[in-house]
Each structure stands twice: as C-alpha cells, then as structure tokens.
Amino acid sequence: MGLIFDARAARLYEAWYQSPQGRAMERLVRESVSTLLELQAGDRILDIGCGEGNHLHFFSRLGFDTSGLDASPYMIRRARERLGHRSTLQVGDAEDLPFEDNEFDLALLINTLEFLDHPAEALMEAGRVARRSVFIGVTNSLSWYSLCTKLRSLFRPSLFTYATPYNLWELKSYVHNALGDVPIKWRCAQVKTPVLEKIGGFLSEQWYLEGCPFGSFLGLCVTMNYRVRTIQTPLKARLEQAGHPVVRGVTMGELRNERSLSL
C-alpha cells in the first residue's frame, strides 16, 4: 500500500506544492497531460492517489467527469471540502481498485507510484479500469531536481524522504511487465533552477528538450490495447424472471420429462 498521508504528511505536501519548485512542477504536469493525452469531451477520468484534489480541480474546471481515489481518509476529506460534489471521491487502495473493468476512459497516476510498495499491481489495476489510456507522472530519478530534493531532505523534513523516484527505463519496464506490449508516449520536462540557469550553454538547453530523459518530471501515456474488452451492458431482466436453464440446448424441464418416460 505504501505511505498513507496523515495531517503531517499533508502539511509537508502543501508546503512543497506552494513552493516555487512545487508550482513549477505542477506546470510541467499540466503541460505533459495536455501534450500526451488525447482528451475528448465527456471523458470519465479517474485520479488514483488524488490527494486533496489538485488535479481533480483542474480537470473538473475543464468540464470532465472526474473521480478520485486515495488510501488516506484524511486526504479524501480535504478533497471533499475543496471540491464538493464536482468529483466522486472514494477511499481505496491503488493496488485493488473498487471499480469495474473499463469504467473510465482515462486513469491517472500522478506522483502516486513513488509512494507505493507495489507499483506493478497499481499499474495493472489502472490498466484494468481504463478503457483508453493510462497516464503516469513521476519525479525523474535521473534528474538534477531529484538529486537536490533528496539532499535537502537529509537536513530538514521533506515529503521526498518517503518517495522512490523512477527513470524512463524503469518505468517502461514496469509498464510492459504489468500491461504487456502496449504503445507508450513519453515526455520529459525540466524545472528551471538557479543552478541550471548558471550552467547555461548547450547542456542546459538540451536538458529543457522534451526528448531528453533527464528532465525533472517524466510523463508517460499508455494506450490500452485489449484483446478482449468487456461491454458494460446492464442486465435488464431480473434473474427470477429468466427462463428455465438450458443444458446443451435442452431445458431442465424437458430432461425431467424424458427421464420420467424412460422409467
């Protein structure tokens, strides 16, 4: 299950989210979502590990049908206070989603895998409930940003003390193991820090390119290819109203009549 946010963890997250680095990272998240996901009007979006609803707030304002799940009752309560009835919210585990197959068009795992003990199981579940795409966003372990946050967390409390960042190759391996040979699009983006600004020159410019795998934020979009896809068709007849059960094309009543005649 991984880290379940309590009030203390929520304060650490809020402090980071409101910091210049947190706001810059959030811009990268939204840019990556807009670039990689093919959003369609009326899409049903599930945010797995929704926290207090920052991304749900963004998508609901765009008019999408949004739902959020988090393992922390505290964070779900905070999200409900913020969003009201604009999103459907539920407490639950990312590794065991309480939803039907293909119930959503898109499933999001934004800065969620880093805090899970079983990321592969969470990816399998996301692929099960998503009809069209799964978006995964993580802090890139090969980035200068990740290194700096880890170093800072050694000297003062930080949310990143409990996080496990991933790089592009690790994330692709997890996706293929969990979801099979699925198409993947990815994008890396760099938070501009004073250190990188001072470096300047060719290296700094290359680090800002989307195709360079060393950016601060790593986003992947997985297109779901189903060999078998469930059709969510409700059963219109009650079970007791159905006809007699059939065995090899013969009803049970006919079998009983045939048996009585043979006796």
Residue 229 CA to residue 231 CA, distance in Å, equals 7
Tens-digit pLDDT profile for residues 90-144: 999 999 999 999 999 999 999 999 999 999 999 999 999 999 999 999 999 998 8
User: What are the sequence ranges of the domains in the chain?
Assistant: 7-234
Q: How many CB atoms lie within 10 A of CB 206?
A: 12
Report the pLDDT value the prediction gives residue 230, as an integer from 0 to 100.
59
Query: pLDDT at position 203, please?
Result: 44
Please report the pLDDT score of residue 16 as a whole number. 80
Q: Which residue has the higher pLDDT, 202 or 65?
A: 65
Q: Which residue, among 180, 33, 179, 59, has the nearest Cα to 25 in the 3D structure?
A: 33
What angle do the packed helices 20-36 and 144-153 form, to 10 degrees? 140
pLDDT of residue 260: 54
pLDDT confidence of residue 236: 58
SS3 47: strand
Asked whether residue 232 carries a pLDDT value surpassing 90, the answer given is no
- pLDDT, residue 241, reads 54
By the 8 A CB rule, do 121 and 171 touch?
Answer: no
Sequence-distant (≥ 6) Cβ neighbours of residue 54 within 8 angstroms: 17, 26
Question: What SS3 string covers 140-170?
Answer: ECCCHHHHHHHHHHCCCCCHHHHCCCECHHH
Q: Strand 217-223 to strand 184-189: parallel, antiparallel, or no bridges (unpaired)? A: antiparallel
CATH of domain 7-234: 3.40.50.150
pLDDT one-digit tens code per residue, 170-229: 999 999 999 999 999 999 887 765 444 444 444 444 444 556 888 889 999 999 986 555
Local confidence band at 235 (pLDDT 50, 70, 90 cut-offs): low
Res 6: pLDDT: 84
Q: Is the pLDDT of residue 255 over 90?
A: no
Which of 227, 28, 197 minimizes the C-alpha distance to 127?
227
Say what the pLDDT of residue 201 is: 43
pLDDT in tens, 30-55: 999 989 999 999 999 999 999 999 99
Q: For residue 240, is pLDDT > 80?
A: no
What is the predicted pLDDT for the residue at 192? 60
What global pTM score does this model have? 0.78
- pLDDT attached to residue 199: 45
pLDDT of residue 75 exceeding 70? yes
pLDDT-derived band at 21 (thresholds 50, 70, 90) equals confident
| Mean pLDDT, residues 147-158 taken together | 74
Mean pLDDT across the chain, nearest whole number? Answer: 82
